[in-house]
Amino acid sequence: MDSVPNYIIGVDLGGTNIVSLLMSRDGKILARDARRSLAKEGKERTISQIVTSVREILREGERLKVFSKAILGVGIGSPGPLNTKEGVIHFAPNFPGWIEVPLMQILRDELNLPIFLENDANAAALGEWWLGAGKGVDNLVLLTLGTGIGGGIIIEGEVLHGAWDTAAEIGHMIIHEGGLTCGCGKQGCLEAYASATGVVKRTLAAIEKGEKTLLINLVENRLEDITCELIFKTAEKGDSLARWIVEETARYLGIGINIINPEMVILSGGMIAAGDTLFKPVRKYAQENALAAAIKEVKIVPAALGGNAGAIGAAATVLKKKSLL
Amino acid sequence: MDSVPNYIIGVDLGGTNIVSLLMSRDGKILARDARRSLAKEGKERTISQIVTSVREILREGERLKVFSKAILGVGIGSPGPLNTKEGVIHFAPNFPGWIEVPLMQILRDELNLPIFLENDANAAALGEWWLGAGKGVDNLVLLTLGTGIGGGIIIEGEVLHGAWDTAAEIGHMIIHEGGLTCGCGKQGCLEAYASATGVVKRTLAAIEKGEKTLLINLVENRLEDITCELIFKTAEKGDSLARWIVEETARYLGIGINIINPEMVILSGGMIAAGDTLFKPVRKYAQENALAAAIKEVKIVPAALGGNAGAIGAAATVLKKKSLL
C-alpha cells in the first residue's frame, strides 16, 4: 500500500463561479462541484460557498470510498494579489470587502485539511501544463483573455512567482505608453487594448468616430449590447471594421508575446472561441514583433481544459507543494 | 585537502574589450587581463585575443602557484543570441563574421580546460548577484544601459534562460507600439527610447524641432558631438531640454521595470554615472507604472562591480554549472 494519500482537491474561485474537483494523483477527475461564488453578497458568503463546495466534493468522495485521510490537501486558485506562503489574499478586485483575508487559515479551520493557495492565472497555467495544451512543455506562458488579461508563466516546469507573488501580470505590461487608460489606472497596458473589455471599447470608439459597421444594425442601435463575441462573429462575416478590430487585437497580443521566450503560449478565455480568426493573425504578429531567435519555434495554441483548468491547476498546486509533481 | 579545483576563470567578451579574471571559488580576484577584442579585424583575430588573454591569466596564476589542474573551468560571457548548452554563438551584432561559431569547442581545443558559455547580460546579472549590488537578493533584474539595452534576470538565484537561451531581451520589450524604430527593426522597443543611443536620438529630434538648449553651444554647433553623457551633465546644470530628456528616459525605464516582479533592479552601464539625476525619477516612474503590490518594495540600485561584473559573472557560471554556487 502507498502511504502517501492518493487524492487531491482543487478549487477555482472565480468572480462568478466556484468550481471544485476531486482528483486522483494521476490526473483523473472523480467528482466535480460548481456553484455561484455570490461575491456581491460579501466575503463570509463566498467563503461559506467554498466550504460547502469542498464538503459536497468530500461527500461525493465518500460514496466512491475516498475518505478524508486519503486526501493530500486542497489547492485554491484565487484572484489576487495574494501571498502564497502565508495563504493571505491582499485584495481581489471583483470581491468587495476582501482585504488581507487569511483564506488558508480560515479554510484549514473549517475543513481540517491542508490548504494551499495559488494565483488563479498561475493555477490555470499549471493545469494546462499538467494535463492540457501544455503537457510536456516546460516553458510556457498562459494568457487568460476575458474582462481583464491574466497571465501565468511556467519556467522549467515551475510556476514563476517573482519576489512578491505578483509576477506574470502580463495584462499590465505597458505596450503603448501614454495610450488608452486601463482599469488599473495606468495608461497603455496590454489589457486596455486586448481584453474583451478593450476590444469592445476600441470598437465603440471607432463607431463614435463615424466608422460604418454591420454591428450597429445587429444590435438595433443599442450600442451597449455590442460584445466581444459579437465583434469576432461579425468579423468572420467580413465586416471591415470588425475585421480591423480583430486584426488590431491580434497585433497587440503579438506584441505582448515577446519577452519570456517560452516554447508555447496558451491562450484561454471566451475570446479563443474565434479560432483561426484570432490565432492566425496573433501568430503572424508574434513573429513580426519578436527577435527572430526567440520566437522562431514558439507555438501559440488554445487552452485545452476549458472551465476546469483553474481547478485542475489548483489541485496540481497541492502535488507541487508536496514535491509529487 | 579539497579534491575539487579551487579556481575559476571568467572572460567578458565585449565589442571593444576582453576582460579576463582568475578568481578563487570564494570570490577573490587573483589576476586580471584586459585587452582589445579587435572585433573589426574578424572572428579569428578576436578568438586569438581571447586565447591570449586566458593564457596570460594562466601565466599569472602559475606565478601565484595556481596551476592549470587547480582550475575548474573557464566561463565566457558573450554577446548573443547563443546556445549555452552547445556553446555556439548564433550571431553577435557587433562582431562581423560571427555566424554559428562553436566557441566552446574552439576554446576547449585551444586551452584544454572545460569551457562554459553564458550570455553577457546574464553573466553581469550573475556577477552582481554573487559579489555585487545584488548579493543575497535571489530575484533580481539587471539592465545594462549602453549603446543598446541588455537584460539579465535571476529568479530564485538562477539565471532565467527561457526556452531558447534568448530570454530577458528586456531592451526589446515594446513599450510604445508603432513608435520609434529600433536597431532590431521593430518599432517602439525600450532600447529605441532609453539606451544611450536612444537618448541622443531623442535629443537631436527635439533640437531639430527648434527646442533651445545649452547643448548646441557646448558642442559649438557640431550636433554629431552630442553624447548621452553630455546630455546628462547638461541636465544637472539645469538646461530644460536636457532635463526633460532625462526625465523622459527615466519614465521609459520605469515603464520597463514592471513585469518580472523582482526584489531589486540593478542598472549598469555608462549612464548610471548620472547618479540621482537618473535614479530618482526612475524610482518615481517605476512606482507610478507598476501594480502597487508588485513594486512596493523593489529596490532600484546602481551596479557595484563596474567593468568586472561580466567577467565575475562568467566565472560564477562555472561554479553554477558545477553546482558549487
Distances in Å between the alpha carbon of A47 and those of A51, B31, B211, B241?
6, 63, 60, 56
Q: Confidence class of residue A155 from pLDDT cuts 50, 70 and 90?
A: confident
Say whether A204 sits in a helix, a strand or coil.
helix
Short-list A285, A289, A173, A247, CA closest to B179:
A289
Res A222 pLDDT > 50 = yes
Percent of chain B with pLDDT over 90: 66
**CB contact, 8 Å: B185 with chain A?**
no
* Percent of chain A that is helix, strand, coil (3-state, to 5): 45, 25, 35
If you average pLDDT over every residue of chain B, what do you get?
90
CATH, domain A136-303, list 3.40.50.261, 3.40.50.80, 3.60.15.10, 3.30.420.40: 3.30.420.40
Q: Calculate mean pLDDT across residues A270-276.
A: 85
Q: Poorest-confidence range of A21-35, A173-187, B47-61, B211-225? A: A173-187
C-alpha–C-alpha distance, residues A192 and A16, integer Å = 22
Q: Nearest chain A residue to B80 by CA: give it.
A: A293
C-alpha–C-alpha distance, residues B73 and A23, integer Å = 48
Residue among A259, A264, A295 with most chain B CBs within 10 A, to mutate: A259
C-alpha–C-alpha distance, residues A194 and A269, integer Å = 12
**Which residues in chain B have their CB less than 8 angstroms from residue A178's CB?**
176
For residues B216-252, one letter each, b for 16 or more C-beta atoms within 10 angstroms of the residue's C-beta and e for the rest, the string is eebeeeeeeebbbebbbbbbeeebebbbbbbbbbbbb
At B141-154, the pLDDT tens digits run 899 888 888 888 88
C-alpha–C-alpha distance, residues A171 and A190, integer Å = 5
pLDDT for the residue numbered A22: 97
pLDDT for the residue numbered A92: 83
C-alpha–C-alpha distance, residues B119 and B89, integer Å = 9
Question: Backbone phi, then psi, for A323, in 5-degree steps?
Answer: 55, 35
C-alpha–C-alpha distance, residues B79 and B92, integer Å = 6
Percent of chain B with pLDDT over 70: 94
Contact A291 B177 (CB under 8 A): no
pLDDT for the residue numbered B198: 95
**pLDDT top residue among B94 and B103:** B103
Q: Confidence class of residue B139 from pLDDT cuts 50, 70 and 90?
A: confident
Strands (E), A120-246: 140-145, 149-155, 158-159
Q: Nearest chain A residue to B170 by CA: give it.
A: A259
Return the CA Rg of chain B: 20
Q: Calculate mean pLDDT across residues A216-237.
A: 94
Residue among B263, B291, B296, B299 with most chain A CBs within 10 A, to mutate: B291
Q: What is the dihedral of CA B320, B321, B322, B325, to 10 degrees?
A: 10
Number of Cβ within 10 Å of residue B6's Cβ equals: 14
**Which residues in chain A have their CB less than 8 angstroms from residue B259's CB?**
167, 169-170, 173, 259
Q: Calculate mean pLDDT across residues A147-166.
A: 82
Q: Confidence class of residue A292 from pLDDT cuts 50, 70 and 90?
A: low
User: What length does chain B have?
Assistant: 325
At B148-192, the pLDDT tens digits run 888 888 888 989 887 667 656 788 888 899 999 988 888 899 999
The yes/no answer on whether domain A7-127+308-321 falls in CATH 3.30.420.40 is yes
Q: Who's near B46: CB < 8 A, 6+ residues apart?
A: B13, B18, B37, B38, B39, B95
Closest CA–CA distance from residue B68 to any residue of chain A (Å)? 35
**Residue in this structure with the C-alpha cell 509533481, named with its chain if needed:** A325
Q: Calculate mean pLDDT across residues B63-92.
A: 92
**Residue in this structure with the C-alpha cell 596551476, named with its chain if needed:** B67
**Which residues in chain A have their CB less than 8 angstroms from residue B171's CB?**
none
C-alpha–C-alpha distance, residues B247 and A269, integer Å = 39
**ipTM value greater than 0.85:** no
Residue among B164, B184, B298 with most chain A CBs within 10 A, to mutate: B164
pLDDT for the residue numbered A55: 98
CATH, domain B138-303, list 2.40.30.110, 3.30.565.10, 3.30.420.40, 3.30.40.10: 3.30.420.40
**Residue A253 C-alpha from the chain's centroid:** 15
Contacts within 8 Å (CB) and 24+ apart, A246-251: A246/A274, A246/A277, A246/A278, A246/A281, A247/A281, A248/A193, A248/A202, A249/A193, A249/A194, A249/A198, A249/A199, A249/A202, A249/A278, A250/A278, A250/A280, A250/A281, A250/A282, A250/A284, A250/A285, A251/A281, A251/A285, A251/B177
Short-list B179, A242, B167, B239, CA closest to B230:
B239
**pLDDT top residue among A93 and A285:** A285
Res A277 pLDDT > 90 = no
pLDDT for the residue numbered A255: 85
Contacts within 8 Å (CB) and 24+ apart, B215-223: B215/B239, B215/B241, B215/B242
Closest CA–CA distance from residue B177 to any residue of chain A (Å)? 5
Phi-psi domain of A323 (left: phi exceeds 0; alpha: psi -120 through 50; beta: other):
left
Question: Which residues are paired to B181 by β-bridges?
Answer: B187
Res B203 pLDDT > 50 = yes
C-alpha–C-alpha distance, residues A233 and A250, integer Å = 15
Closest CA–CA distance from residue B24 to any residue of chain A (Å)? 30
Q: In what order do the strands lie in the sheet with A264-268?
A: A158-159, A149-155, A140-145, A264-268, A299-302
What are B308's three cell numbers?
A: 568586472
**Which residues in chain B have their CB less than 8 angstroms from residue A155's CB?**
155, 160, 162
Instruction: Answer whether B316's CB lies under 8 Å from B159's CB.
Output: no
pLDDT for the residue numbered A163: 65
**Residue B68 C-alpha from the chain's centroid:** 29
Res B1 pLDDT > 50 = no
Short-list B14, B182, B256, B92, CA closest to A290:
B182
- Stated as kind and residue range, the H or E segment containing B301 is strand B299-302
**Residue B214 C-alpha from the chain's centroid:** 31
Short-list B254, B235, B234, CA closest to B243:
B235
Listing DSSP states for B166-220 in one string gives: ----GGG-BSBTT-SBPTTS-BSBHHHHHSHHHHHHHHHHHHHTT---HHHHHTT
Res A309 pLDDT > 80 = yes
What are A16's three cell numbers?
A: 462568478
**CB contact, 8 Å: A202 with chain B?**
no
Short-list A203, A273, A190, A195, CA closest to A231:
A203
pLDDT for the residue numbered B254: 86
Q: Where in chain B is the domain with CATH 3.30.420.40?
A: 7-127+308-321, 138-303
**CB contact, 8 Å: A251 with chain B?**
yes
Q: Calculate mean pLDDT across residues A188-208.
A: 95
pLDDT for the residue numbered A115: 97
C-alpha–C-alpha distance, residues A309 and A128, integer Å = 6
**CB contact, 8 Å: A178 with chain B?**
yes
Q: Is the pTM of this model over 0.90?
A: no
Say whether A78 sits in a helix, a strand or coil.
strand
**Which residues in chain A have their CB less than 8 angstroms from residue B184's CB?**
291
Residue among A174, A191, A253, A298 with most chain B CBs within 10 A, to mutate: A174
At A33-65, the pLDDT tens digits run 999 999 999 999 999 999 999 999 999 999 999
Closest CA–CA distance from residue A266 to any residue of chain B (Å)? 15
Contact A177 B172 (CB under 8 A): no
Question: Which residues are paired to B120 by β-bridges?
Answer: none
**CB contact, 8 Å: A173 with chain B?**
yes
C-alpha–C-alpha distance, residues A204 and B298, integer Å = 38
Q: Is B39 exposed, middle or buried (0-12, 13-18, 19+ CB in 10 A)?
A: buried
Work out how many CB contacts closer than 8 A connect A with B: 123
Q: Calculate mean pLDDT across residues B221-243.
A: 94
Q: Confidence class of residue B294 from pLDDT cuts 50, 70 and 90?
A: low
Q: Where in chain A is the domain with CATH 3.30.420.40?
A: 7-127+308-321, 136-303
Res B2 pLDDT > 80 = no
Closest CA–CA distance from residue A18 to any residue of chain B (Å)? 25
C-alpha–C-alpha distance, residues A122 and A124, integer Å = 5
Amino acid at B218: L
